Structures are given as structure tokens and as C-alpha cells.
Amino acid sequence: MNKHLLVTISDDPSAHFGLRFVCAFFRNKADVRLTLFYTAPQPPAVWPEEANYETLRQSELAAEVIIKAGQKAMQAARQIFLQGGFSAEQVDDKLVSRNFSRLQDIIREGETGLYDAVVFGRRGLLKLENLMDKSVSEEMLQEKFAFPLWLCRDLEYDRKGVLLCVDGSEPSRRMADHVGFILRDEPEHAVTVLRVLRKTDAPQNTEGLFSEAIAALEDNGFPTRLIKTRLELSDNVAQAILQEARRGHYAAVAVGRSDRHKSVFTQLLKGSVTMALFRKLTGAALWVSR
């Protein structure tokens, strides 16, 4: 079964972080399908009282410029993938006129297209950061990400392996399943399953702490020999994850977020652990699933 990724792009070269991560991460590229997604902003509106030949023509010209910018961004992104080892047949283009905000359009496409993951580059992350400091409409807060997000910035492309962070919750089990699915047939990537417990919760017996995550990996055909486990005792979960991410030089850090808030978007903004990782993780991509 193909691994189908939605890769968000823009005319900002910093958005290429996501593209380059995908190229560097997958060694077995034959089983990967990519869809490039560009949402073209609407041209300035022409009010009825202002409508005349000149204003309508200016609006048409503005729309043409926007579409050409999108097409140029598509071509640049496609070229990166071709140079990165993918074939032209593996890469689809999808350029649409923006219906809502860029993020809302991406969410809707990610859900309706049933993609295995949605990849954000630098610009998408900056949009998320901007939203942290202002109120977001109730409609946006109620959006639910029904797919894993791959957040890519400040990456080191020579890294290998995934740090899978588990806590026994259903979201972390879904993330384990996602990691197993993505990494099957990728023997150059090992998985370290990390469990962080508070010092006061230190167990007498660690048996069973990792069993569900390991089973999810193995059920996807991921080799047992490439699975390691690591238990950390810390009252600062985010800091423990960041320290292990630096120590292990992983390509990606994968976390599941429990649905304690209205949506995964809300969790991304308000969840203390995920928020700390979002802001402080460098070198590795951050994979987030609810």
C-alpha cells in the first residue's frame, strides 16, 4: 500500500523544508505517493459600485499573477522531488483557489483526501506561530486534524530514526501505528520508544510499559530488531523528550496528543508538552497526531 503524503507548498522558499525532509527521509521511494498542495489567495474584491471595465480587468490580471505564482511554486517543488529521487509519476499537483484561510483549506484537503500525513514547511509553521498570539475564530478552534501533521523546520537532513513518545493513551497508540506504517520497508530507520514518567511514578516493573507501542509497530511489519525502548524519570516531560532527541540525533520525534481540548489545533497551541516541542525542537521534524 502506498504512503500518500500531502505536501503543502507556497511561493516562499522557506516552505521547502518539508519537501527536502521527505526526500531525505525516505530511502525506499517507490512506495511513496506525493500530492503538492497550493492554495491561491483570492484577488482583491471589486465592490459592485466600483465595477467597471478597468477595475474588472485589474482583478483578472491580479488573479492571473496569483495563479502564475502558484504554478511557479509547483514547478519548483516538483523539481526538488525529482532531484530527490522521486519519479514524475509519483508526484501530483493540486492548485486550488482559496475558499477559507490557507490553514483551513489544508485541513479540509487533508481530511477529504485521506492522506497518511500532511507535511508543513517553514511558512506553514510561521502561520501557526502567528495564530498563537491572537484570538482564533470558534470555527477554526473546532477544526479537528484527522491526520498526522509533520512539522518541518530547522532540520538536519542526515539524521536517521524516529523517537516515538508514548504514554499509554489512544493518541500515542495511533501514532505508534502511523510510525510503523511509514517506516515499514525503511530499514535504515530504527525506532526508539520513549516513555517518560514522573519520578514519583517510577514503576517496580517496566514490563508492559512499551508492549502496545511495540505491537503496533510489529503489526505494520516493522522489524523487531530495529525497535529499542527507553524509560526516563522526569517531572519535565518536554525537557526529557528534547534531551533524548538531541542525544539520539533522530530524524523525527513522534507524539500523540490526547483530546482533552476541543481540537487538535487547540492542543497544538495550548498543550504544554507539544507546545514546548513545537517551539524548541531543532534538527528533527515533529510528528503530531491526535
What digits encode the pLDDT tens for the residues 175-184?
A: 999 999 999 9
Q: What is the per-residue pLDDT across 186-211, written as a single tens digit (0 to 9) for each?
A: 999 999 999 999 887 777 667 788 99
Domain 3-151 has CATH 3.40.50.720: no
Contacts of 124 (CB under 8 A, 6+ apart): 8, 10, 15, 18, 102, 103, 106, 151
The confidence band for 137, taking pLDDT boundaries of 50, 70 and 90, is very low
pLDDT of res. 142: 39
Q: What is the mean pLDDT of residues 62-74?
A: 81
pLDDT of residue 127: 53
Rounded CA-CA distance 25/20 in Å is 8
What is the spatial distance between Cα 198 and Cα 237, in angstroms, rounded to a whole number? 8
Sketch the domain layout of the chain as residue ranges. Answer: 3-151, 162-289
Cα–Cα nearest to 288, from 9, 278, 279? 278
Confidence of residue 155 (pLDDT cuts 50, 70, 90): very high
Residue at grid coordinates 459592485: 48
Taking only Cα atoms into account, the Rg of the chain, rounded to an integer number of angstroms, comes to 21
- Residue 45 confidence class, pLDDT cut points 50, 70, 90: low
Q: Which residue has the higher pLDDT, 57 or 109?
A: 109
Cell numbers describing residue 259 = 483530546
87 contacts: CB under 8 Å, gap ≥ 6: none
Query: Is residue 132 over pLDDT 80?
Result: no
Assess contact for 127 and 103: CB atoms under 8 A.
yes
3-class secondary structure, 110: helix
pLDDT tens digits along 83-105: 999 999 999 999 988 877 777 78
The reply to whether 162-289 shares the fold of 3-151 is yes
Q: Which residue has the higher pLDDT, 198 or 21?
A: 21
Which CATH homologous superfamily contains domain 162-289? Answer: HUPs (3.40.50.620)
